Chains A and B, each alone.
Chain A
Amino acid sequence: MVQDIPPHGVGLDAAETSLLIALRQGGEAAFETLVRTYGGRMLSVAKRFFANTDDAQDAVQDAFLSAFKALPTFDGRSQLGTWLHRIVVNASLMKLRTLRRHPEQSIDHLLPQFLEDGHRVSPSPGWKNSLSEMEKVETRETIRNQIAKLPESYRTVLLLRDIEEYDTETVARMLDLTESAVKVRLHRARQALRTLLDPLFGEDSSC
């Protein structure tokens, strides 16, 4: 059943409403506009999930094909970009499931180590200048590169919780894991990333 398009101001702005009408009429130019307008943002979302660009492009292509099919049922109560964002995250997760899994590298060496009495082994001094550093474009690039170093099972949970901001229950459903497993992976991913970011934000940082 084709959903009615709501009036402007509900979810879509005037330009998006016009685009959605053109898309539903099947105009080739409208599809091209959709891909050119939202493709870049969708690629950047997908690239967070994959180690190589080809897999990210495949996921975005799958996402567009799903979106084209779902256009008649899109109710227009969220922005097109928000709707497509959700679709590309789901397409990325589907694609990850189809990829052959390689044994993942351990991240134990990136986690805090403890003495028998429960104290931490050589705790490092806390970060001092992280907030001002984060405003720099090159710092954000470095953070993205460090996130990409995490093994896929940890990176995926980190992305879904700390970037996509899904709650633990939802992530558990999306990945077919227990909530407890999601929390363990999230905690380990954050701790490992904290260690990876130490050269950037720690006292010895030359940045």
Chain B
Amino acid sequence: MLTCKQLIEALVDYVDGRLSLSRRFAVMVHLFCCGHCRSYLQDYQTTIKATRESALQVDEPPAVEVPEDFVQAVLKARKDA
């Protein structure tokens, strides 16, 4: 059976669905037996979701203001280019 260290090392490929069938089965067996690793996997997946969600909010107007001096700087740079 995989150790917890081997299990955690395999997570990056596991969540991407990139493990071979035999390796995937070994991961699933370990997860079935180890509550700590099940929790870690859940947190790992939540971390990915949290990263994604953190970006969604700032993309929504009107959360993002364009500073006036920045607008003028870009227009000037275009003229100077």
Q: Is the CB of A44 within 8 A of B51?
A: no
Identify the closest chain A residue to B78 (Cβ): A68
Q: Is the CB of B43 within 8 A of A120?
A: no
Identify the closest chain A residue to B50 (Cβ): A143
Q: Is the CB of A163 within 8 A of B40?
A: no
Among A117, A126, A134, which residue has its beta carbon within 8 angstroms of that of B39?
A126
Q: A39-B70, A126-B42 are in contact. Are A137 and B36 (CB under 8 A)?
A: no
Query: How many A residues face the partner with a CB closer than 8 A?
Result: 49
Q: Is the interface of B mostly helix, strand, loop or mixed?
A: helix
Q: Is the CB of B4 within 8 A of A39?
A: no
Question: What is the 8 Å Cβ interface bit string for chain B, positions 34-73, against chain A (1 contact, 0 not)?
Answer: 0010111011101111111111111101011110001101
Q: Does A32 contact B (CB under 8 A)?
A: yes
Q: Is the interface of A mostly helix, strand, loop or mixed?
A: helix
Q: Considering the chains assembled together, what is the distance between the CA atoms of A118 and B5 in angstroms?
A: 5
What is the CB-to-nearest-CB distance from A130 to chain B, in angstroms, rounded to a whole number?
5
Query: Which positions in B face A, CB cutoff 8 Å?
Result: 3-6, 8-9, 11-13, 16, 36, 38-40, 42-44, 46-59, 61, 63-66, 70-71, 73-75, 77-78, 81
